[in-house]
Amino acid sequence: MSKRIGLVSVFLAAIAVSSLLFVSPSFAEVVLKIGTLSNDANQLDPHVSTKSQDKILFPWVFNGLVRFAPGSADLSKIEADLAESWKSSADGLTWTFRLRKGVQFHSGYGELTADDVVFSLNRASKKETSTAYKGYADFASVSAPDKYTVKIVLTKPIPSLLGMVTNYHGGYIVSKKAVEKLGDNFKTNPIGTGPFAFSEYQSKRQVTLVANKDYFRGAPKIDKIIYRYLPDEASRELAFKNGELDLIYGTREQRWVERIRKDKGVKVDIIGLGELRTLHMNITKGPLKDIRVRQAISHAVNRDEMVAFVGQDVAQRSISVVPLGYLGNTSDVPLYKHDLAKAKALLKEAGYPDGVTLKVIITKVASLRVPMEILQAQLRKAGIILDLEVVEHSAFHKLIRQDASPLVLYGAARFPVADSYLTQFYLSDSTVGTPTAITNFSHCDAADAEITAARSEADQTKQLALWKTAQQKVLTQTCSVPIFEQLIVWARTTKLDYGFEMKNSLSNGPILNEMTTLK
Amino acid sequence: MSLFPKAGGLRRTIRDTIRVFNRNKTSWAGLVLLLFMVSLAVLAPWISPYDPIDQNILERLSPASAEHLLGTDHFGRDILSRILWGARISLSVGTISVLMGMAVGTVLGILAGYKGKYWDYMIMGVMDVFMAIPTLLMGLMVVAVLGPNLVNLTIAIALTVAPRFARIARAPTISIKNRDFVEAGRAMGFSDLRIMAGHIFPNILGELIVMGSLWIATAVRIEASLSFIGLGVKPPTPTWGGMIREGFQNILSDPWISIYPGIFILITVLAFNMLGDGLRDAIDPKLRNS
Amino acid sequence: MLKYVLKRLAMAIPILIAVLTLVFVIIRIVPGDPAMVVLGDQASAEALAALRTKMGLDVPLIQQYFTFLFGAFRGDLGASLLSGRPVLSEVMTVLPYTIDLTIAGVVIGIVFGVPLGVLTAVYRNSVTDYIIRVFSLFGLSFPAFYSAILLILIFSIQFNLFPVISDPDLSNYGERMNHLVLPAVNLGLIMVAYITRSTRSSMLEVLREDYVRTAKAKGVPRFVVITRHALKNALIPIVTVIGLYLGVLIGNSVLTEIVFNRPGLGKLILDALSERDYTLLQGVMVIYAFIIVIVNLITDLTYGFVDPRVKHQ
């Protein structure tokens, strides 16, 4: 026995000595190490996944026909990407795009042609292959008159059509050949035309991207991106401080931002578009059926305290059920003010003089759980007790779609047009539990007519007016309490320079492209 | 009754225990620490300086001061008050889960040992299956299934503890059941229940108490671990493990938020371990005689 | 003897089946929907239903159960619902990390635990004994996640000696060792505590045995008595310590992996649980169940060889 222990120690000593000899050789390669949220990729298929950790990566790998200027999410400043030019017919029903020539897909999947664009847009509009399909419902056909021309015919005019073919969700152009060849494996082996090409996916660990030397805007200056999944915020921060990571998804709180800003060589980017945190109230069940109880909750919520908690730089008070910066957002709505006395009076009037207890389900994920705990403390002051049940994130998403929670705190950023938000959260078609369900947790049905009419309204002024009425009606029915908008925080070493000002992004993360450098 | 020489075992065990307690400073230290923790838990409503769930956003993450002896957490809640109230959760989950597990496990173990044959195979078979899954993983799965709250947490730990007690109870039952005094009892027409409860149980009580206190130590640790993983009780209920988890977010700037509750877990677990160790010395005849 | 081995083996199989069944049942009760996890929160109910069919989640439960059970015994654990990769290859990717960690933890435990245990037994009731016992009690009482946090605070943040995230490139031995140090020490310290205690109690027993007393009486030097006669015999129960503390080892390695963000079986389980990746969770539990049943079998057999009384029970 003792002989064996001796052997073991000799072996250990050998390992220790050999480890000193194998010091990692240094490469001249420029490697960008990123720490992102979540513990794993979900699906690296841009038409399917709507998860932050996946979305962040898509604009690095894929292009759209047109794009938002890097670092912006402004619909009025859309620029050419895979398409060089475009025009629409006088009736707004036919759009023609001229493609850039010589654009190559990654990994030898050949030149991008109109066929790939037709395939991609058709793929994006089918519910079997895309989660964005509802947005493309008014597409009559997409065709390729020649190798570099794409024609889109609509059933009715869509004023914001360019938005549908940007580098966002269904607008990403994938390689037809790659999707057909890889089949199910495409979701872990994405092939696009972007500045960075997919190289390797290690589940629960990381995705490796390499520079696309043939990128049509020029070869990127970063050779390799290691995109690490690190669900724990503290671990990401520690690793970043230790220099193990160059760029991290930060904690979206003022205190965190201020603390990490103090460190030398660190730059913090606070990126829009923010996610609107809204408390949805199920108007069909239990005490919340009574509008007075819903009004009481609306009055008990203290937006200022919430913003103070999250912080001025990272949070904004919301002014309506549609987020700030979205086309159609308005402050001309009946928003409830913080007023505890009124809240208590309303509860009493509704027949709950001793207060009311609601069993509420909330995710483990801090970005929703922490504000929910603050709401819990705020509502307690008005006599509304929230019995919080904390569940896994996926369980949360399942349960709230089964009406299991009368109050649903939800945070979301959508395409920055009022329609996307109103349709998904307040149209009765989207009510959870129905076959066409999306995320209407409140069973709101007050503004169906306006939301539907606005969608195909060609006159922008009339469209805006319809959206305004819709927002007013939703708040009058008291379907939800919009609380605050939380921006997204990324911290990077000052050695990393995006090459442009990083203000807004639809991907929840920074844009990395051929302009980005790492010293 | 003189037929049952072991009937007075309980009283003698207690006398022996006190004697060895006196010889063993560790167990005294354990007992004192434990009583200290228990009194903190019991007195929490009176000695806590603040409401443990009252948020004060403006005063959040403030360092230790005269107003907040151990500072405040990320919601501005008083850490000391949360620790004191957290003691109630830790101690009650730890104790109740082990008592539950002990009760179920002991009954099953005695039954298996006393009845033998297929009773033995069935019961111990099921127990072996439960034992095959490590305590933490079992707790993790059960809480994930039932949902994280106080009752489920207690049940989860009890489930993992019960088989250990079944094993502890079974072996001595087998060796005792064939002894003269039990045979005699049976000959006198005593029911199985009476024999098991009246004569086998007192004989294994000593060992049960020792293992009980050692398992409470483990249970407190598991409760803290599950809370740390995020499978603890509902917010805003304070638990030590949960406090460490929440403090971990700010570990770089305010490490004390995590460190303080950890110290209390450590002391509590240590107290039960010391106590169990001391009692083991008191009851284990081999050690007692040497 | 062969009969005993066969009997134990025959007993291990139903236990394995029962454990697999338990795992299968527990996992199915867990709320949450893997299809939702895959498609994200904007997916429509129709798309979710379509994916569920594709994942094989709408097949009757009993059919899923038998597919799972027979697969497990053929070594086919299916494919992860989320990544689509075979569960076995997912496990194999992280297994080296867990093996590194557990072996390092056990080695640290034995290298320090055995001598300390001998020391406390030989100098029973001395100051040395007292101090070491208090330390080992501390070791037993430390929740693994707390000690891990303290190690990070001290050695990663204060002194910046080791990385916070233990996720080395396995082909780079320097990095592999460097990343292993803190997690291994964390697991090792706890094992030291357990092994010190079990060494102490088995040494105490052996020291009382007649042959040791005889040797002592015959004037054999104390050191020789301890190492040659006593420790040699006391080591046998120590060998089975691994079996005895397997649960402790697994539980603490899970917590260690979580705090250090180290890939491994434990972290895989937790991830699978939170993502509702049924097949992956099942697969990892099957691997654990196999390991546990086999280690227990070996432990039992070792006892059987050493102590003939066990066989006849």
SS3 A35: strand
Q: Which residues lie below 8 Å from residue A421, measured CB to CB, with a gap of 6+?
A: A276, A321, A322, A323, A326, A412, A414
Consecutive H or E run containing B96: helix B79-115
**C250 and C292 belong to one structural domain:** yes
Does the residue B234 lie in any domain?
Answer: yes
**C234 and C292 belong to one structural domain:** yes
Q: What is the pLDDT, as a whole number, of residue A156?
A: 83
**C67 and C104 belong to one structural domain:** no
Nearest residue on chain C to A45, alpha-carbon basis: C39
Determine whether the interchain pair B234/A387 forms a contact, defined as Cβ–Cβ distance below 8 Å: yes
How close, in Å, is residue B247 to chain A by CA atoms? 10
How close, in Å, is residue C171 to chain B by CA atoms? 30
How close, in Å, is residue A337 to chain C by CA atoms? 30
Averaged over C30-49, what is the pLDDT? 63
Q: What is the pLDDT, as a whole number, of residue A24?
A: 44
Q: How many percent of chain B have pLDDT more than 70?
A: 89
Q: Measure the CA–CA gap between C273 and C280, rounded to whole angstroms.
A: 9
Does the residue B8 lie in any domain?
Answer: no
Determine whether the interchain pair C164/A239 forms a contact, defined as Cβ–Cβ distance below 8 Å: yes
Q: What is the pLDDT, as a whole number, of residue C240?
A: 64
Does the residue C9 lie in any domain?
Answer: no
Tokens 């240590």 correspond to: B270
Q: What is the largest CA-CA distance in chain A?
A: 91
Q: What is the pLDDT, as a whole number, of residue C313?
A: 41
How close, in Å, is residue A371 to chain B by CA atoms? 10
Q: Which of A175-189, A351-365, B243-257, C196-210 has the lowest mean pLDDT?
A: C196-210
**C56 and C186 belong to one structural domain:** no
Residue C284 confidence (pLDDT) above 90: no
Q: What is the pLDDT, as a whole number, of residue A199?
A: 94
Residue C257 confidence (pLDDT) above 60: yes
If one counts every other C-beta atom within 10 angstroms of the C-beta of residue C131, the result is: 11
Which residues in A lie closer than 8 A to residue C34 (C-beta atoms)? 394
pLDDT tens digits for range B41-72 = 999 899 988 888 888 887 888 888 888 888 88
Determine whether the interchain pair B75/A377 forms a contact, defined as Cβ–Cβ distance below 8 Å: yes
**C48 and C197 belong to one structural domain:** no
Q: What is the pLDDT, as a whole number, of residue B8?
A: 53
Number of domains in chain C: 2
Task: Nearest by CB to A394, from C37, C44, C156: name it.
Answer: C37
**C39 and C165 belong to one structural domain:** no
Q: Positive or negative, the Cα torsion across C67, C73, C79, C81?
A: positive
- Chains B, C: CB contacts within 8 A come to 122
**CA angle (B47 as vertex; B44, B48 as ends), nearest 5:** 70
Q: What is the pLDDT, as a whole number, of residue A243?
A: 87
Q: What is the pLDDT, as a whole number, of residue A311?
A: 86
**CA angle (A154 as vertex; A148, A158 as ends), nearest 5:** 105
Structure tokens at A443: 């069973």
Res. C43 pLDDT band, cuts 50 70 90:
low
Q: What is the dihedral of CA A257, A262, A267, A271, to 10 degrees?
A: 20
Task: Nearest by CB to A23, from C45, C160, C174: name it.
Answer: C174
Which among B120, B129, B214, B280 is the top mutation candidate for probing chain C, defined by the most C β-carbons within 10 Å of its own β-carbon? B129
Task: Nearest by CB to C30, from B144, B266, B277: name it.
Answer: B144
Contact criterion met (CB below 8 Å) for A427 and A448: yes
How close, in Å, is residue B152 to chain A by CA atoms? 12
Domain that holds residue C65: 32-76
Instruction: Give the number of residues written for chain C.
Output: 313
Does the residue B1 lie in any domain?
Answer: no
Does the residue C151 lie in any domain?
Answer: yes
Task: Nearest by CB to B225, from C134, C205, C255: name it.
Answer: C255
Where does A274-487 sit in CATH, by number? 3.10.105.10
Contact criterion met (CB below 8 Å) for B250 and B257: yes
Residue C190 confidence (pLDDT) above 70: yes
Determine whether the interchain pair C255/B221 forms a contact, defined as Cβ–Cβ distance below 8 Å: no
Q: What is the pLDDT, as a whole number, of residue A455?
A: 83
Q: What is the pLDDT, as a whole number, of residue B20?
A: 63
B174 in reach of chain A (CB within 8 A): no
Res. B35 pLDDT band, cuts 50 70 90:
very high
The pTM score is 0.78
Which residues in A lie closer than 8 A to residue C240 (C-beta atoms)? none
**C301 and C209 belong to one structural domain:** yes
Which residues in A lie closer than 8 A to residue C93 (C-beta atoms)? 202-203
Report which of residues C90 and B263 the model is more confident about: B263
Query: Domain with C299 in it: what CATH number?
Result: 1.10.3720.10
**C172 and C199 belong to one structural domain:** yes
- Superfamily the domain A63-176 falls into: Dipeptide-binding Protein; Domain 1 (3.90.76.10)
B266 in reach of chain C (CB within 8 A): yes
Which residues in C lie closer than 8 A to residue B112 (C-beta atoms)? none
Q: Measure the CA–CA gap between A302 and A337, rounded to whole angstroms.
A: 8
Does the residue C281 lie in any domain?
Answer: yes
pLDDT tens digits for range B76-99 = 899 999 999 999 999 999 999 999
Report which of residues A130 and B7 the model is more confident about: A130
- Chains A, C: CB contacts within 8 A come to 157
Q: What is the pLDDT, as a whole number, of residue A297?
A: 96
Q: What is the pLDDT, as a whole number, of residue A510?
A: 94
Q: Which of A223-227, B244-248, B257-261, C11-15 has the lowest mean pLDDT?
A: C11-15
Res. B7 pLDDT band, cuts 50 70 90:
very low
Determine whether the interchain pair B262/C27 forms a contact, defined as Cβ–Cβ distance below 8 Å: no
Q: Which of B73-82, C163-172, C295-304 has the highest mean pLDDT?
A: B73-82
Q: What is the pLDDT, as a whole number, of residue A478?
A: 93
3-state per-residue secondary structure call for chain C: CHHHHHHHHHHHHHHHHHHHHHHHHHHHHCCCCHHHHHHCCCCCHHHHHHHHHHHCCCCCHHHHHHHHHHHHHHCCCCECCCCCCEHHHHHHHHHHHHHHHHHHHHHHHHHHHHHHHHHHHHCCCCHHHHHHHHHHHHHHHCCHHHHHHHHHHHHHHHCCCCCCCCCCCCCCHHHHHHHHHHHHHHHHHHHHHHHHHHHHHHHHHHHHCHHHHHHHHCCCCHHHHHHHHHHHHHHHHHHCHHHHCHHHHHHHHHHHHHHHCCCCHHHHHHHHHHHCCHHHHHHHHHHHHHHHHHHHHHHHHHHHHHCHHHHCC
Q: What is the pLDDT, as a whole number, of residue C303?
A: 64
Which residues in C lie closer than 8 A to residue B277 (C-beta atoms)? 137
Q: Measure the CA–CA gap between C243 and C294, rounded to whole angstroms.
A: 9
Which among C145, C187, C255, C312 is the top mutation candidate for probing chain B, defined by the most B β-carbons within 10 Å of its own β-carbon? C145
Q: Measure the CA–CA gap between C12 and C299, rounded to whole angstroms.
A: 12
Determine whether the interchain pair C146/B145 forms a contact, defined as Cβ–Cβ distance below 8 Å: no
How close, in Å, is residue A285 to chain B by CA atoms? 23
Pairing of strands A480-493, A247-249: antiparallel
Determine whether the interchain pair A242/C31 forms a contact, defined as Cβ–Cβ distance below 8 Å: no
**C72 and C95 belong to one structural domain:** no
CATH 3.90.76.10-classified regions of chain A: 63-176
Averaged over C12-35, what is the pLDDT? 74
Mean pLDDT, 10 residues at a time, chain A of 519 residues: 46 48 57 89 88 91 94 86 92 92 93 95 90 85 94 86 89 94 89 95 89 94 93 84 91 86 91 90 93 95 91 89 89 92 94 92 86 93 90 79 90 86 92 85 93 85 93 94 93 94 90 93
Which residues in A lie closer than 8 A to residue B148 (C-beta atoms)? 389-391
Determine whether the interchain pair B57/A364 forms a contact, defined as Cβ–Cβ distance below 8 Å: no
Domain that holds residue B277: 16-54+69-288
Which residues in A lie closer than 8 A to residue B229 (C-beta atoms)? none
Query: Domain with B79 in it: what CATH number?
Result: 1.10.3720.10
